[in-house]
Every structure is written in structure tokens, then in C-alpha cells.
Amino acid sequence: MPHDNIHTCSYSCERPACIRAQRDELAQRLFELVAEAVAAERQEILKLADSLGYVDVDAIRARSEA
């Protein structure tokens, strides 16, 4: 796997490949957090995620119910 695809350094790293990797990693973590909140019916987390607008809570909810 080419080095450019892996983020192995700190969050202050400014290489474009690392910034992309950091963003994808955070998006994935946020998605998992919301999916867990959906499963556990953690309304306060879902409300927060909804108000931030970073993730589509309704889409995750629909997927988890499918």
C-alpha cells in the first residue's frame, strides 16, 4: 500500500493525503457513534448530531431499521 494512503502522523500534519485521511477517519468515527446512538436510542446524542449537521441522522436511522 502506498505511503500516501496511510495517515501515521499527528493531527497537526498538513500533508494533503494526511488531512484527507484524518477527515475520513473522523467522519467514520462520527458515523459509528451515531449508529450506536441510534441502536441505543440515545436521543440526546442524536439531537446533537442532528443540530451539528455533520451526519444525516435520518439516513443512519433508516439504514439501521432496514
CB of 55 to Zn ion, least distance (A): 25
| Spatial distance between the Cα atoms of 34 and 52, rounded to a whole number of angstroms | 12
The conformational region for residue 15 under phi > 0 = left, psi -120 to 50 = alpha, else beta, is beta
The answer to whether residue 46 forms part of the interface with Zn ion (CB under 5 A) is no
Residue 40 is a binding residue for Zn ion (CB under 5 A): no
Q: Of 6, 13, 26, 39, which one interacts with Zn ion (CB under 5 A)? A: 13
Task: Verify binding: residue 15, Zn ion, rule CB under 5 A.
Answer: yes
Residue 66 to residue 63: CA distance in whole angstroms: 5
The site for Zn ion (CB under 5 A) is made up of 9, 13, 15, 18
